Structure 1
Amino acid sequence: MKLKSIAIVVGRGACMLAAAAGLNAVLVGAALAAWPDKPIKLVVPYPPGGATDVIGRVVAKNLGTALNQQVVVENRGGAGGNIGADAVAKAAPDGYTLLMGAVTSHSIMQTLEKGKISYNLEKDFAPVTMVGSVPLVFVVHPSIPAKNLKELVAFAKAKPGYLTYASSGAGAPQRMGAELFKRVAGVDILHVPYKGSGPAMTDLVGGQVLMMVETVPAAQQFIKADKLRALAVTTPQRISMLPDVPTAAEAGLPGVEVSSQFGLLAPARTPKAVIDRLNTEMLKILNMPDVKEQLLQQGAYAIPTKPEQAAERISKEIATWEKVINEAGITAD
């Protein structure tokens, strides 16, 4: 009798657990089906005005329309993008907090700030899609007499330590571009880091710093207004936004190639159904002619991908910049 009673209790317990699990699955499924039923926060880990912010706002506007829910941009700058990225890495994985990731910058920081940053780009995020690839351009303040990259090298060599260059942070692609220039050209130039492209461009236009290897979205308005002089782009081929500006290789410095990759990321363990829904909508958005044009006007080429392809790109970026940083002996300033 006792054994029979125990069997009955165990059986009932198993049934109750199965029922609870089934109910939980139903509730989770219902919650996912209702997603999103409130505004989504898109964290831009830099101040307003830079490439990440510009691209993030294009994404937020169109994704909000696609999901029929408001997507609110929140700028959380500081520490080379690490503060905003860390906040998203630690956010609830429910699809309501996303990161407009500056994938190249975050990949650089993973090596440059190894042991200091508290998140891992590959382990703590679930990629949704790559969004865009942005070329960089060498720009100088008009007070610098150089009209091309060769003249800039000559100027820098004639005045070692005089030429200051801005970046949007110690681990930014802008810095990597200038460090590559410094190494390949053999010049002595001084790094001045800022908390984002916006503040850096303000001081460059004002003459407080003298040069920058900046993303095209942040620089082109000042180039067109003749407030900055463009000397070369850091891409293998010339770009449609600045067709008259030669590549660094054409200007005599092969090997100085940098682009800034951007992607939409969610916290790790975000439900696959949410990631898939976001990816489906983002692929539609990034293939829309008007969105492609909006991004192109800002200097960004749309590069929509599946989540697994985005993950592969992130891994490649991390490996690429780890090699560059270690070989060049680059350290965080």
Structure 2
Amino acid sequence: MRRWIGGLALWMAWMAGAQAQAWPDKPVRVVVPFPASGATDLVARVVAQRVSQDLGQQFVVDNKPGAGGTIGAAEAAKAPADGYTLLLTTSSTHAISPHLMPRLAYDPRKDFTPVAHVADAPSVLLVTPSLPAKSVAELIAYAKAHPNELNYATSGNGTIVHLNAAAFSAQAGVQMTHVPYKGTALAIPDLAAGQTHVLFDSLPTGMPHVRSGKLRALAVTSERRTTLAPELPTMAESGLPGFSSVTWFGVYLPAGAPPALVERVNKAFNKAIQAPEVAESLAKLGVEPAKPTTPARFDAMVKDDSDRWAKVIRDLKITLQ
């Protein structure tokens, strides 16, 4: 009996390896849990097109938006772990929403297999030109001298824009008033007019207004200076050590995916993000390709990101209300 069980285990391992080597032999669905034409959708299409080209098989983006990405993530979690349904998502569904929405229909760690870190999108700290502050240090000094007189705009409660501003205020020891909008694009005219004063926005949305002179950029939120705006210092360089925040984009399989399949999908996406034309296309979106890494390192990065946002959300009592 033991020999039979051992033989069956070896046969199953061989079959899993053989199936992984054959992957993909039919079209692959890439679930994007956000709307078409949004940043995640565009990143997915750029990278999926290159993976399709490399592997000679279609990778079809399937948008499943709603509830901050959690509807699409929940659907992908229930798919077979055979490599023909992937989830390309962001920190929103796996590092932020779990701490804001306790009744999620999925567990970000138990219901998925991490595969590949694809790209990162840093934010930029913008201020209205009517403020005298021309650096982060000057902004902090001004805010401390004028407590509760400055407003910070966001794209809504619990968004990465809100979390960045709340984390900045807490670390800098300043008091500002939160003014939520239904998107940063709606906040920018008020910021330019001086009705609000501070905004953490995405690079592609914010920088055109900086270059036109309507807004002033003080720093980027990434750990290192970004090639997309190399003239801007990081928040850490600007006097807030350890401040680092990016929206990461990554690929997951449903839980239970065979290790050989995970490795093959990881290699496919790592190869794609190293293509020069992919980097060029992502740069136009304000996104940088990630450095190729292993599933384990991607998983560790996501855990660190999740733990950090959990602390910010808990300590600052941030809710979706």
Q: Normalising by the residue count of structure 1, what TM-score does the alignment of the two structures yield?
A: 0.77
For each residue in 1:70-119, what CA deviation from the matched residue of structure 2 results, as whole angstroms up to 9, or x when unmatched?
22223333322212211211222222221112136521222232x32121
Question: Residue 231 of structure 1 aligns with which residue?
Answer: 218
- 26 and 295 in structure 1: CA distance in 2 versus 1, 3 angstrom threshold: same
The partner residue of 1:94 within 74, 78, 82 is: 82
Mapped partners of 1:249, 1:34: distance in 2? 46
**Structure 2 unaligned regions, length at least 5:** none
Residues 1:165 and 2:153 are matched in the alignment: yes
Distance, in Å, in 1 between the alignment partners of 2:60 and 2:239 is: 44
In 1, distance between residues paired with 2:8 and 2:214? 66
Of residues 231, 241, 247, the one that matches 1:244 is 231
**Shift, 1:310, TM fit:** 1.6
CA distance in 2, matches of 1:287, 1:84: 27
> What is the CA–CA distance in structure 2 between the aligned matches of 1:271 and 1:66, rounded to whole Å?
22
Contact 1:80 1:171 (8 Å CA) reproduced: no
Query: Which residue type is aligned with residue 107 of structure 1?
Result: A
Distance 1:149 1:308, change over 3 A: closer
Alignment: residue pair count: 313
Give the structure 2 partner of residue 38 of structure 1.
26
Q: How does 1:46-65 map to 2 (within 5 A)?
A: 46-65=34-53
Determine the structure 2 residue equivalent to 1:307.
Answer: 295
After TM superposition, give the deviation of residue 285 of structure 1 in Å.
Answer: 1.8
Matches of 1:303 and 1:123, distance apart in 2:
25
Q: Residues 76-225 of structure 1 correspond to what in structure 2 (within 5 A)?
A: 76-103=64-91, 106-113=94-101, 115-140=102-127, 147-149=134-136, 154=142, 158=146, 160=148, 163-167=151-155, 170-183=157-170, 184-192=172-180, 194=182, 200-207=183-190, 210=196, 211-225=198-212
Stretch of structure 1 that moved more, 246-255 or 181-190:
246-255
1:126 offset after TM fit, Å? Answer: 0.8
Aligned-CA RMSD value: 3.7
Matched AA of 2:96: I
Measure how far apart 1:33 and its partner are: 5.3
Give the corresponding residue for 2:266. 279
- Please give the alpha-carbon distance, in whole angstroms, between the structure 2 residues aligned to 1:152 and 1:49: 34
Report the secondary structure of 1:108's partner residue.
Answer: helix
- The farther-off stretch of 312-321 and 47-56 is 47-56
Distance in 2 separating the partners of 1:70 and 1:33: 17
Give secondary structure in 2 for the equivalent of 1:241: coil
Q: 1:149 to 1:51 in 2, by over 3 A?
A: farther
| CA displacement at 1:170 relative to structure 2 | 4.0
Residue 329 (str. 1) matches residue 317 (str. 2)? yes
Larger Rg: 1
Question: Structure 1 residues 232 and 284 mapped into 2: Cα distance closer, same or farther (>3 Å)?
Answer: same
Output the CA distance in 1 between the equivalents of 2:12 and 2:290: 39
Query: Per the alignment, do residues 314 and 236 of structure 1 end up closer, same or farther by CA in structure 2, a change over 3 Å counting?
Result: closer
What are the ranges of 5 or more consecutive residues in structure 1 without an aligned counterpart? 1-10, 195-199
What secondary structure, in the 3-state scheme, does the structure 1 residue paired with 2:94 have? helix
